[in-house]
Amino acid sequence: MQAAVEAEATQTAHAPFDVERIRAEFPILTQQVHGKPLVYLDNAATAQKPQVVIDALERYYTEQNANIHRGVHYLSQLATREYEDARVKIQRFLNAAEAHEIIFTRGTTESINLVALSFGRKFVQAGDEIIISTLEHHSNIVPWQMLCEQTGATLRVIPINDAGELLLDEYERMLNPKVKLVAVAHLSNALGTLNPVQRIIELAHAQDIPVLLDGAQAAPHIKVDVRELDCDFYALSGHKLCGPTGIGVLYGKSRWLEAMPPVFGGGDMIASVTFEKTTYNTLPHKLEAGTPHIEGGIGLGVAVDYLTGIGLDRIAAYEHELLEYATELIGSIPGVTLVGTAREKASVLSFTIDNIHPHDIGTILDQEGIAIRAGHHCAQPVMKRFGVPATARASFAFYNTKAEIDALAVGIQKAIEVFS
Ligand code: C6P
């Protein structure tokens, strides 16, 4: 099956990118909203689902539903196999060395909290330091703040320039033996900055400091190879990868995951339990207590195979074209200011318009059937850095088109007219 997925990817690698064919695989995209064709440009919040993923969920409940890792009966074994096969699909998607390095979680937020609670409990103490950056989503700020409050460690923040790029020299100066972890976004959700994560990791590893990448935004848009990156942890959310909600992944190198204590106790994570002493299961189960999101894991496996079938490199190239087109078109509308103009960007166009609150922009665009996000994007420190309370954010996926970006430009002009 995997060979078939990879063979298809190789075959399609040189074919033209047929966006209409791809769009036909996403039933939701044919909808009308407020009497207008839906233009879905809120992909950084969550991606739409192709029919194959929807079918997998239906198939699970009509043909496979059972609890896993517990039953000797047919359905339990079937569901277990499907779930564990999905883990292997995700292992391949990220090029992890071992399937047990893929821990299923509820999403990026839980993945990062798991590292903060488990790695943090074991390896972080008073006087230590954790490094994050100004760009982070609250999910990669608050867990570390909580850890620092509990342990007496200090949170240090890499500054950014006016384009929204990390100041690497400052980062290099911040590294020292007290730093126990560097945790940064691979791709910023608020600005679209693609961070130089390879360099960030090299610099940290030169001082034996592990690195966690928040891959919530990057994983759907660029090929992620955790072994090539050599990151220690990688967190992602299934729902942003065309998979179901409520499922995500923490990738961790075996040596860290083996050393980390479980955070949640319960079924599946134990080897044996007596009232005197409990011993824990092996990876990945040690870190996955209780009945998991079985159909979510299976659906995510189907989703990553679907993306591999199209080819992440082709997705990245096509989306790059869309972003360049949108940057040029929207950025040249008088009154529009782009927020986040890094040299390396992907998928996200954040902007403000003179004298119009981003929520009003979002509401007017919604009347045109156009879905964008308006607000602080769960990244309030980024907004503060740019001196704005909020931005409007259009975020692109491989099923979007230039015609949809044209519709966005027309909608923005309309908003400007309404408020002028
Ligand atoms: N950003 C956005 O609209 P969860 O909610 O756990 O699936 O993902 C959290 C998260 C973590 N890191 C980054 C970089 C993110 O972008 C997100 C989710 C969405 O930008 C919803 S706030």
pLDDT digits (tens, 9 = 90+) for 262-308: 999 999 999 999 999 999 999 999 999 999 999 999 999 999 999 99
DSSP calls for 69-130: SS--SHHHHHHHHHHHHHHHHHHHHHT-S-GGGEEEESSHHHHHHHHHHHHHHHH--TT-EE
**Are residues 197 and 338 both part of a single domain?**
no
**Are residues 114 and 194 both part of a single domain?**
yes
For residue 414, give Cα distances in angstroms to 330, 359, 365: 13, 15, 9
Residue 374 has pLDDT above 90, yes or no: yes
For residue 127, give Cα distances in angstroms to 148, 149, 179: 9, 12, 9
Q: How many helices (H) and strands (E) does the chain have?
A: 15, 17
**Are residues 126 and 36 both part of a single domain?**
no
Domain that residue 354 falls in = 2-49+312-419
**Are residues 78 and 34 both part of a single domain?**
no
CB 312 within 8 A of CB 394: no
Residue 3 has pLDDT above 70, yes or no: no
pLDDT band at 16 (very low <50, low <70, confident <90, very high): confident
Is the beta carbon of 216 within 6 A of some atom in ligand 1? yes
- Tell me what the mean pLDDT of segment 43-67 comes to: 98
Torsion of CA 352, 353, 357, 361, to 10 degrees: -90
Is the beta carbon of 253 within 6 A of some atom in ligand 1? no
Is the beta carbon of 137 within 6 A of some atom in ligand 1? yes
**Are residues 247 and 167 both part of a single domain?**
yes
**Are residues 209 and 108 both part of a single domain?**
yes
**Are residues 150 and 293 both part of a single domain?**
yes
Per cent of the chain over pLDDT 90 is 95
Residue 332 has pLDDT above 60, yes or no: yes
What is the position in ligand 1's atom list of the atom closest to the CA of 237?
7
Neighbours of 199 (CB within 10 A): 13
Could you tell me the pTM of the whole model? 0.97
The Å distance, Cα 61 to ligand 1 centre, comes to 28
Domain holding 125: CATH number?
3.40.640.10
Domain boundary among 252, 278, 308: 308
In the chain, the amino acid numbered 138 is H
**Are residues 296 and 318 both part of a single domain?**
no
Q: Tell me how far apart the alpha carbons of residues 203 and 35 are, in angstroms, rounded to a whole number.
A: 53
Domain boundary among 282, 308, 334: 308
Residue 2 has pLDDT above 70, yes or no: no
Q: Is 145 exposed, middle or buried (0-12, 13-18, 19+ CB in 10 A)?
A: middle
The Å distance, Cα 268 to ligand 1 centre, comes to 28
The Å distance, Cα 103 to ligand 1 centre, comes to 18
**Are residues 43 and 65 both part of a single domain?**
no
Question: Into how many domains does the chain fold?
Answer: 2
Domain boundary among 261, 276, 308: 308
**Are residues 301 and 329 both part of a single domain?**
no
Domain holding 350: CATH number?
3.90.1150.10
The Å distance, Cα 277 to ligand 1 centre, comes to 38
Out of 40, 109, 114, 233, give the residue to mutate to test ligand 1, the one with the largest number of ligand atoms within 8 Å of its CB: 109
Dump pLDDT digits (tens) for 125-136: 999 999 999 999
Q: Tell me how far apart the alpha carbons of residues 103 and 105 are, in angstroms, rounded to a whole number.
A: 6
**Are residues 42 and 91 both part of a single domain?**
no
The Å distance, Cα 381 to ligand 1 centre, comes to 15
**Are residues 391 and 254 both part of a single domain?**
no
How much is the mean pLDDT over the chain? 96
CB 113 within 8 A of CB 264: no
Annotated active-site residue 378? The verdict is yes
What pLDDT is recorded for position 71?
82
Helix, strand, coil shares, percent, the chain, to 5: 45, 20, 35
What pLDDT is recorded for position 7?
57
Q: Tell me how far apart the alpha carbons of residues 7 and 373 are, in angstroms, rounded to a whole number.
A: 37
- Tell me what the mean pLDDT of segment 27-42 comes to: 98
Is the beta carbon of 388 within 6 A of some atom in ligand 1? no
Is the beta carbon of 107 within 6 A of some atom in ligand 1? yes
211-214 vs 233-237, strand pairing mode: parallel
Is the beta carbon of 39 within 6 A of some atom in ligand 1? no
Is the beta carbon of 44 within 6 A of some atom in ligand 1? yes
Query: Which range among 69-73, 97-101, 394-398 shows the weakest confidence by mean pLDDT?
Result: 69-73
Dump pLDDT digits (tens) for 160-219: 999 999 999 999 999 999 999 999 999 999 999 999 999 999 999 999 999 999 999 999
Residue 13 has pLDDT above 80, yes or no: no
Helix 402-419 crosses helix 312-331 at what angle (to 10 degrees)? Answer: 30
Residue with CA nearest ligand 1 atom 17:
216
